[in-house]
Amino acid sequence: MVRMEVKLAFPQDRPPLSIISAAKIAGVSVIIDPTLASGSVPTLHFSSGDFIHGVNTILRYIARAASVSSFYGQDDIQAAQVDQWLEYAPLILSGSEFEAACSFLDGYLATRTFLVGYGLSIADIVVWSNLTGTGQRWESLRRSKKYQSLVRWFNSVAADYGDALDEVTSAYVGKRGIGKSPAPSLKEKVLGLKENTSGHEIDLPGAKVGEVCVRFAPEPSGYLHIGHAKAALLNKYFAERYKGRLIVRFDDTNPSKESNEFVENVLKDIETLGVKYDVVTYTSDYFPKLMEMAESLIKQGKAYIDDTPKEQMRSERMDGVESKCRNSTVEENLSLWKDMVNGTTRGTQCCVRGKLDMQDPNKSLRDPVYYRCNPDPHHRVGSKYKVYPTYDFACPFVDALEGVTHALRSSEYHDRNAQYYRILQDMGLRRVEIYEFSRLNMVYTVLSKRKLLWFVQNKMVEDWTDARFPTVQGIVRRGLKIEALIQFILEQGASKNLNLMEWDKLWTINKKIVDPICGRHTAVLKEKRVLLTLSNGPEEPFVRILPRHKKYEGAGKKATTFANRIWLEYADASVISVGEEVTLMDWGNAIIGEIKTDNGTITQLVGELHLEGSVKMTKLKLTWLSDIEDLVSLSLVDFDYLINKKKLEEDEDFLDNLNPCTRREA
C-alpha cells in the first residue's frame, strides 16, 4: 500500500478511467481533483511537491507502486508487453476501427486468461477501461455475444474487481461513453483559451513558468492559411502565458515543393498575426546531424534500407507484411545508404525505413519511411544533399535538440503520436510532450496547400493573395482585420473537438470591429436605376457635412449633396405605391405622386418633399444619390466560394466540386 498522499487532477469532461480504476485496484489512494481545463493532460501531484503527468506515465507509476504483484508483469519481457498495451489500447479502441480492434482482442484472448502473463496487469485495466469508456457502443457488442472470448475476459475482470470498478464506472461513464455522465459536474462547458467567467485557462501538462519552449513549424511550400494561423496563435499564447520561448522553424525537408518566396511570405504572415518569436530556425540546419542519426539507427539494427516499389510498400504496410529487405545485414544496409547519400542510380531506388513493428494495429508504427532520395536542389543548401528526411523522422529529432518542451499538433496527427514517441525512444532522446488541438476546418473551403497550389498554378485565382483564398494575405485583402481573426481563433481555444466553422461567424466578429471606424459610402446600381424628381426640391444643389456613422464619431464626416433630382435603386422603386410616403435617408420624408413606366418597367418617379412628416410612420427608408456630374463610378465585386460543397469528405476530389463561377484568370 502506498501511503504518500497524491492528488489526481484531470479535466471534468475527460476523466482518465484507466488511471482511476487502476489506482482503486492497486491500493493507491488518490484524491480526485477534476478541475483541469478541457484538453489538459492528467497530472498526479505528490505531497512532496513533485508531480508526473500523462496517462501512461501515471499508469506506470501506479503499476510499480501496486500491491498487486503482477501489475507490471513478472519480468522485463512482460513489462515491455504491458507498455505496448498502454500505448496502443487507446488508439485501437477508438474511432472507426473499434470493431476490428475487438475482433483482434477476441482472437488474442481465445487461449489467454489475461493480456500479459498469468495474472492481472495494468494492461488488462487499460483495455477494460477503454472498452467501458465507449459506453453503449461496447455494451451493444457485449450483449450480441459476437466476441465470446473478449466478453468472457471482460466479465471475469468485472467479477473479480467489481466493487472498485463499479464505483468508478457509475461515477464517470454514461450511456454515450466516458465523460457523458448525467452528473452535473461532468456537463460543464468546455473552456475556451482565454479566461472565461470562472477564471480558468487551458494548461500545458507539466509546464513551469520560464521553462516552456514551443515551436511553430510550417513547411515553406505555400503561404500561411487560416488553419496555420490557429497553430501559430496557440503557440504564441502558451509561450506568453508561461513566459517561455517560441521557435519558428521551417520544416524544409522537401525541396521539390519549397522556395524562398514561401519562406519570406510565411514570415510576413507571422508578423501580420502579431506573433513574436525568439528565433527562426530551419530543419535543414540539422541535416548533417539527422544523417548521422539515420546511420546510427542503421548500425543499431533499428532502421534498414528498402527498395520495395512505393505502391507495393503501401500495400504491405496496410496488410502487415514485412519487406523482403527487413532482415538485411547492417553491412548491406550501410552500403545502400552510401548509394543513397551519393545519389547513385541504385541509391535512388531505395529509402530508409525504421524497424518498428509491422504487426502493430496502429499502422503508423509499421516501419515508417525515414529518408528518401530527391535530386531537386534545395532552396537553402542547393544540391549538397541527395537524401532528405521525412517529417516523421526529422520532427521529433529537431524538437528534442532545440529544447522544445511541448509540441502542439492538430488532432489529425493523433494516430502518429505513438510513432513520434517511439522514434524519440529509438533515437535515445528526451521526451517531448505532444499537446493536441483540433484542426480548423471552414465550410466551402480547401486548406490543403497542394490543392491551393493547384488553383494558383492553373490560374483559377490571381495568386496566393487572392481575396477568395483562405490564406492570411487573402482574407486580409478581402477586408478582414487581424484582431477579428485572433478573436475568432482564441474563442475556439485548444479544444480537441473537430468543428466545421462558418465564415459568417468570422465576418460577424470582423463587422463589430470595423463598424465604428470604417468609411461609409452610398451607392446606387447604375443599371436600371430610377430617377426621382422632387417638385419642391432645392433649385440649386447644396452640400451638408454629416457624420458617416450616427453612433460612432470616430467614423468621421461625409459631404452629402442635396438636389431636386435623385437616383434610387430599381429594387426600391419597384415596391413604392402612388401616394405613399417614404423616408429619404439623412434628408426626410417625401410623398410619391406619380410612377412612370415603359412596357411594365419603371422609368421615373415624381414626388414632393414632406420634411415635416414623421420618419417613424414610413415603411420604406431609402438610400439615394443626387443626380450630379461628379458621381464616381466604381465596380463592386462579390466573392463566392471556390468550391460548391460545404464539406468535402476524405475520398472526394475537390475538382469534382469546383464552383462553376470560379473562373480562370486572364
Query: Catalytic amino acids?
Result: 219, 439, 449
Q: Which three cell numbers stand for residue 208?
A: 513551469
Side chain identity, residue 149: S
Q: Which three cell numbers stand for residue 338?
A: 552510401
> Is the separation of the CB atoms in 21 and 30 below 8 Å?
no
Cα–Cα distance for residue pair 222/258, rounded to 1 Å: 8
Cα–Cα distance for residue pair 499/440, rounded to 1 Å: 7
Burial class (CB in 10 A: 0-12, 13-18, 19+), 148: exposed
Q: Using the Cα atoms of residue 419, residue 423, residue 424 and residue 425 in order, give the sign of their dihedral.
A: positive
Cα–Cα distance for residue pair 526/549, rounded to 1 Å: 25
Q: For residue 378, which of 480, 263, 232 has the smallest C-alpha distance?
A: 263
Does residue 287 sit in helix, strand or coil?
Answer: helix
Q: For residue 167, which of 329, 295, 32 has the smallest C-alpha distance?
A: 32
User: What DSSP character marks residue 366?
Assistant: S
Cβ neighbour number for residue 301 with a 10 Å cutoff: 12
> Is the separation of the CB atoms in 330 and 321 below 8 Å?
no
Residue located via cell numbers 459506453: 135
Cβ neighbour number for residue 310 with a 10 Å cutoff: 10
Q: How many helices (H) and strands (E) does the chain have?
A: 20, 26
Q: Which residues contact 396 (CB under 8 A, 6 or more apart)?
A: 420, 421, 423, 424, 427, 429, 432
Q: Which three cell numbers stand for residue 383?
A: 544540391
Strands 621-622 and 581-584 turn out to be parallel
Strands 530-534 and 601-609 turn out to be parallel
- Kindly report each contact of residues 195-204 with a partner whose C-beta sits within 8 Å and lies 24 or more positions away, as own/partner: 200/35, 200/37, 201/37, 201/241, 202/37, 202/38, 202/39, 202/40, 202/493, 202/494, 203/36, 203/37, 203/40, 204/40, 204/238, 204/242, 204/406, 204/433, 204/435
Q: What is the DSSP string of 204-273?
A: -TT--TTT-EEEE---SSS--BHHHHHHHHHHHHHHHHTT-EEEEEE----TTT--HHHHHHHHHHHHHT
Instruction: Please compute, for residue 233, the number of CA atoms within 13 A of its CA located in the half-sphere on the CB side.
Output: 28
Residue 85, φ and ψ in degrees, nearest 5: -65, -35
Strands 542-547 and 601-609 turn out to be unpaired
Q: Using the Cα atoms of residue 181, residue 182, residue 186 and residue 192 in order, give the sign of their dihedral.
A: positive
Q: Using the Cα atoms of residue 68, residue 71, residue 75 and residue 78 in order, give the sign of their dihedral.
A: positive
Q: For residue 93, which of 25, 1, 178 has the smallest C-alpha distance?
A: 178
